[in-house]
Structure 1
């Protein structure tokens, strides 16, 4: 009897894991295929000049000894093949893992991925250094970390989707869509998207499970992986806003605001600490005339300066006629994001425009699972967390009973989806108005509402099948195009 009850949950998670592994194998195979059939646009990827200092990832080995090791590797052709796959921003991450932060512009790449690469290359994969060389091992470490982390992200997305959507079939469809998402090439390359997605989606899952401390830690790590990770503090802002309403109007206490503020500060700490680290290395100890301009600012913000000065990032700065192809390249993901937001706002205006304060009675339970809304308050914060954990256990974070009854009134249109919709809206607006718009495909690719909405419309009566073909064709085309262009050093996203 127990086995029968747990089989749907185990079967779906197994399917998600298999899909994630298969998708990674497909992407890696395509990379190898295109690298074999075509010549890369830029052949400088294997070039690896000496570090500017002896502060390398192997501090006990001097540069001369490292060069000797590099010249006497057992499989130089294999090492060269791995190094040639280190392209675009991957060069920065591997270089930072090997030599640290040598130049001002490298501080645009946050340190979590380089630290993980350095750690793995000096421990588990260290015996491979004499076989393929140090830089190849660093590159291999990046590939291993990101492809394994991707599988974990897919599982977290499935568990999160089950709780939010209250429909494990819809959760399965959304998770499989994520496994074959249009930005797949970046999740199997040496980019920070995978770790960012892991700690963002994982943090969100822990948040709805009532584990606020773990959620804060995971969101903080997402901000240590990519700068936009600090936006995850918005989930706690949203939670605190509703708890403050509860405290002020129902219980006449407002101390919850302090707790929410402290959680947000903890999420900001890793990113702010890294900016301070950059200020210490670049600005301190230099004469004013030799300082970089941002060092003299009243509030010295290294990351903003680098993005603006070296990459031309800024509000409306990308709105140029010559950038129209890049807007076209980003239009599918931006259109999907816009449709998901507009559809939710159109069908649930009372939830969307009231920010969840006026959620109808049938949505109260789902909202309470996510943020303990005021209408479902209990006597204490601990009781609220306990109630949320019990609800999560009941609704699917643990093993789902086979006879679990789905609610037709919830799913994608549940009040619990609202915070994710608002998060997606902010991210999409930033990608369109501020960033290089072509990066929107990978910038938004982790966002759960995209896959929840796609899963929702694929089952809609009438046009669902057609939309399903469109979504899958879009993903397949971008996987093929991305693996072809990106791996051969041609511009993609």
Structure 2
């Protein structure tokens, strides 16, 4: 018999093993597509033993697309200008773990050690993120069954391949859910995981809003500003909260912002010094890395002044995204991209539907910023609501990410961006699915048969499925399987 958290642990492990097997099968059976994409330059002098060939056979399908960049950065650093689009924490961790592995397992070469290190990091981060997500959902909804269902759905999310492949999604999801839960519980050193999330992905910056919001939320609870319920606009409420803030609150918020952003600022300084000030030294890079730059017309660090170096605020990230990937406001709105819009439509619809339902339920309380409930006109009118009011900040966060996806990024990226950054999709689908267990109250999150299994869960043994159940499972499982097939063979996916 397994408690819900332990059940989530084992199911998360099971799904990672399934993803690995699917990737191996598809990679072996289907020839790779010759994509016009970056492929890391390999060291021709590096010995490849039988153990390295086995690693390549088992995990090569995980190294596609951005995985090539992460492996290159982990080994050689930021050698080319286009590598600046990828944040350093994940490749740095790959490098550190790989160095340890080469000492512990000298059978593998450095390239194989890095691939194994990346797989291990993603495995650990994903399992921990599933458990943290369960705790977060239980904290918000105060319901074990709801938390369990949402966490199970997270384990089979439609971007599952990216949580196992050499991408930073698993690490970012773990840090993001940890920040969300830590902010609710007012953890004192929340700025540390915040800084790490910002060094993992660019959208980690918006996570700063969570500790700030819950700091103000707790201030409202402690001050009991019931009289301000009568204020009917956001500005009035905000002004009253600012007047109630003490020096301690200002120091806490400012220190969180400054400490969290410090590593990001240092990263920008490092990029500027490396590409705009330092002189180019050919001896500092291996010959095959230099040759790859010549063959593909890539800008090397310190070789020439890049255009972004002369900007008033020299930020490499936005320039690289715009120049190399055509990322920018409405740049992706082209007829030829319609299939990619269709690909992203399900997750955009689900997230927007969740936001719409929440706003509909709390339209009379929105001006209160989710800090407290508005009093009903008549105490006899008590309506059971689908969503808790404490979801307010998550809805605002999700809405911001939706707008960012719709107007600025390659639209198909929405699936993995939202799946790793916001819990709304899982909460909405968990509430929508019809699964209900009528066993003893302690076992209500699963059937008595499933609760004794490490991998068997409700949607695998459900006798009847509603149409909504079928759509959700078709989307989650379908995208997982198709994603493994497409990604492992260098075919374009989300």
How many residues align? The count is 421
Matches within 5 A, 1:274-285: 274-285=267-278
Structure 1 residues 313, 274: closer, same or farther in 2, change over 3 A?
Answer: same
TM superposition shift of 1:449: 1.8
Match of 2:448 in 1: none
- Relative to its length, the structure with more helix (as a share) is 1
Q: Partner of 1:314 in structure 2?
A: 328
Hey, what's the Cα distance between the residues in 2 that align with 1:48 and 1:306?
A: 18
1:300-347 C-alpha deviation (Å, 9 max, x unpaired): 111111111111111111111111111000000000111010011011
Structure 1 Cα separation of the partners of residues 215 and 323 of structure 2: 36
Q: Is the 8 A contact 1:240 1:257 kept in 2?
A: no
Task: Check whether the contact 2:191–2:259 (CA below 8 A) recurs between aligned residues.
Answer: yes
CA contact (8 A) 1:13 1:158 kept: yes
Q: Distance in 2 between matches of 1:346 and 1:310?
A: 41
1:70-149 → structure 2 map (5 Å cutoff): 70-71=46-47, 73-81=49-57, 84-85=60-61, 86-131=63-108, 133-149=109-125
Does structure 2 retain, via aligned residues, the 8 Å contact 1:199–1:219?
yes
Separation in structure 2 between the aligned mates of residue 71 and residue 172 of structure 1, nearest angstrom: 47
CA contact (8 A) 2:186 2:211 kept: no
Partner of 1:397: none
1:45·1:91 contact (CA, 8 Å) conserved in 2?
no
Per-residue CA distance 1:149-171 (angstroms, 9 max, x = gap): 10100000001111100001000
Give the match for residue 129 of structure 2.
Answer: 153
Kindly state the Cα deviation for residue 148 of structure 1 after the two structures are TM-superposed: 1.7
Question: What does residue range 21-40 of structure 1 map to in structure 2 within 5 Å?
Answer: 21-40=13-32
Matching residue within 259, 265, 277 for 1:272: 265
Q: 1:257 to 1:481 in 2, by over 3 A?
A: same
Deviation digits for residues 37-58 of structure 1, max 9, x if unmatched? 111113999975367xxxxxxx
Matched, 1:211 2:187: yes
The equivalent position to 1:229 in structure 2, one of 204, 211, 226, is 204
Is the 1:160–1:204 contact (alpha carbons within 8 Å) kept by the matching residues of 2? yes
| 1:41 matches 2:38 | no
CA deviations over 1:260-303 (Å, ceiling 9, x no partner): 12212222222222111101101114699942111111111111
Paired with 1:429 and 1:150, the residues of 2 have a C-alpha distance of: 26
Q: Which residue of 1 aligns with 2:290?
A: none
CA 1:304–1:260 in structure 2 vs 1: closer, same or farther (change >3 Å)? same
1:406-460, Cα deviation, whole Å (9 max, x unpaired): x9946x5111111111111101110111000000000000211211111112249
- Offset from partner CA, 1:167-206 (integer Å, 9 cap, x none): 0100000000000000000001110111100111011112
Structure 2: segments with no counterpart, 5+ residues: 226-238, 281-301, 377-381, 437-463
The SS at the match of 1:324 is helix
**1: CA distance between counterparts of 2:303 and 2:167?**
36
Does the alignment pair 1:471 with 2:472? yes
Q: Work out whether residues 359 and 415 of structure 1, in 8 Å CA contact, stay in contact via their aligned partners in 2.
A: yes
RMSD: 2.9
User: CA 1:431 to 1:47, structure 2 compared with 1: closer, same or farther past 3 Å?
Assistant: closer
1:81 Cα deviation from its structure 2 partner: 2.2
C-alpha contact (below 8 Å) 1:326/1:437 kept by paired residues: yes
Q: d(CA) in 1 for partners of 2:271 and 2:78?
A: 9
In structure 2, the partner of 1:399 is none
What is the TM-score normalised by the length of structure 2? 0.79
Structure 2 equivalent of residue 292 of structure 1: 306
1:96 and 1:324 map into 2 onto residues whose CA distance is: 33
Aligned residue in 1 for 2:256: 263
Any idea what the Cα deviations from partners look like across 1:346-405, whole Å, max 9, x if unmatched? 11112334322452369xxxxxxxxxxxxxxxxxxxxxxxxxxxxxxxxxxxxxxxxxxx
Instruction: Specify the alignment match of 1:201 in structure 2.
Output: 177
Q: More deviation in 278-287 or 474-483?
A: 278-287
| d(CA) in 2 for partners of 1:199, 1:409 | 33
User: Is 1:451 the equivalent of 2:465?
Assistant: no
